[in-house]
Amino acid sequence: MADPMRIRANMTGDKVEVKVLMAHEMETGLRKDAKGNLVPPHFIRNVTVTHGGKTVLSAQWGTSISKNPFMHFRFKGGKPGEKVTISWIDNKGDKRTDEATIAGGS
Amino acid sequence: MRIDRLPAMMLAALLPCFVAAQQDTQKEIERYRQLLQDGNPSELFEARGAEHWKAKRGPKNTSLEQCDLGLGAGVVKGAYVRLPRYFADSDKVEDLESRLVTCMVALQGLTPEEAKRRPYSGPGQPSMMADLVAWIASESRGMKIAPPQSHPKERLAYQTGEKIFFYRAGTHDFACATCHGEDNKRIRLQDLPNLTNAGDAQRAFGSWPAYRVSQGEVRSMQWRLYDCFRQQRFPEMQFTSDASVALTMFLAKRAEGGTFDAPAIKR
């Protein structure tokens, strides 16, 4: 199973600022291994962020996203102590869901 | 569905175009590094390393939690900035990696070969050693680099390291000092630190281990030296060899007093 994400969620003014690091190879399918064989594509296809039962971000990704992706965004309507849930699913069907609690922040 | 400021910032390995003068280029590279530092994937490696430290492994089915990195059994905080150092139990000067090998052999019952099996990670092949190094180094962030020099073997390691640093050899008649012994040298756009100068040495030593964006891996000081030797067309540097530890001691001592700020992020 994939390694856990690292999620930081902090209040900045009236918005929640979320920073996520995901551990993923993000193989494009164009790279060759040491023997010259193509490495099959393996990348995150969908990322979904929910808060209080509502989707606050939904993204479709492809092979142009780097290895070990970093995602940074803000959304309105969150409060300290509430949870943000992030999930991704890749082209092989592997998935991962992690949760973070919104911190007070500045 | 309410969406506020959708994909704000997704960082791929994008380098802006540099058309300005050298100085502006340097500033832009600094700014780029700072942008990246906020989302340094090294954290993913550090998280795994912290788990490996506690995980039971080997024939003795024990964790590394009783490993003495120089500040007492199990003390990780601040250990990296006081390495390499002399260890009485192995009667050797050891850097972090060679100390971890010693601990894996003594505590977990692995053979040295097993402990050194995969020193560096590759695509789809994480390295336990690299993860451990990333985590242990991160526990010294913000501290002053202070390798000990009280034991004669520690001083000997420094002197040997200095010799290696200035020793010219190989097909290209290179020494470490050829690239790292003068100010304002560079390879293409990469500025090369002058490691004989304290400020440069502090910044250089204080930023390894580092996440290499171009490789998507965390690389250690052992790897840095291995790759410098490769680039010089020297014989392959053996992982945790006495030569590598001596050179690390020389560099650490040159960087003494600097603030340790790693794992960093590099191109």
Q: Which domains does chain A have, with CATH numbers?
A: 6-101 (2.60.40.10)
Domain positions in chain B are 41-266
Q: Which numeric CATH code is attached to B41-266?
A: 1.10.760.10
Q: Does the complex come out with an ipTM higher than 0.90?
A: no
Q: Do A70 and B2 lie within an 8 Å CB cutoff?
A: no
pLDDT of residue B20 exceeding 80, the answer is no
CB nearest to A55's CB, from B1, B43, B216: B1
Per-residue pLDDT band at B4 (split at 50, 70, 90): very low
Q: How confident is the model at residue A81 (pLDDT cuts 50, 70, 90)?
A: very high
Question: Whole-model pTM?
Answer: 0.85
Mean pLDDT over the full length of chain A = 92
Tell me whether residues B123 and A39 touch, CB distance under 8 A.
yes
Residue B67 bears catalytic tag: no
Q: What digits encode the pLDDT tens for the residues B187-227?
A: 887 889 999 999 999 999 999 999 998 898 999 999 999 99
**Residue A67: which of B1, B4, B216 has the nearest Cβ?**
B216
Q: What is the pLDDT of residues B91-141, one digit of tens each?
A: 999 999 999 999 999 999 999 999 999 999 888 888 999 999 999 999 999
Q: What is the pLDDT of residue B238?
A: 94
Residue B5 scores a pLDDT above 50: no
The residue of chain B nearest to residue A17, with distances taken between CA atoms, is: B8
pLDDT at position B9, please? Answer: 42
Strand order in the sheet with B217-219: B217-219, B210-212, B264-266
Contact with chain B for residue A86, Cβ under 8 A:
no
Find which of A70, A92, A98 to mutate to test the B interface (most B CBs within 10 Å of its CB): A70
Average pLDDT of chain B to the nearest whole number: 88
Give the distance from residue B116's alpha carbon to the nearest chain A alpha carbon, in angstroms.
Answer: 21
At which residue do the structure tokens 């204080």 appear? B206
Query: Is B38 in contact with A19 (Cβ distance < 8 A)?
Result: yes
pLDDT for B257 equals 94
How far CA B65 is from CA of A73, B108, B111, B129, in Å, comes to 38, 11, 19, 15
**For residues B40 and B266, what is the distance between their CA atoms, to the nearest angstrom?**
10
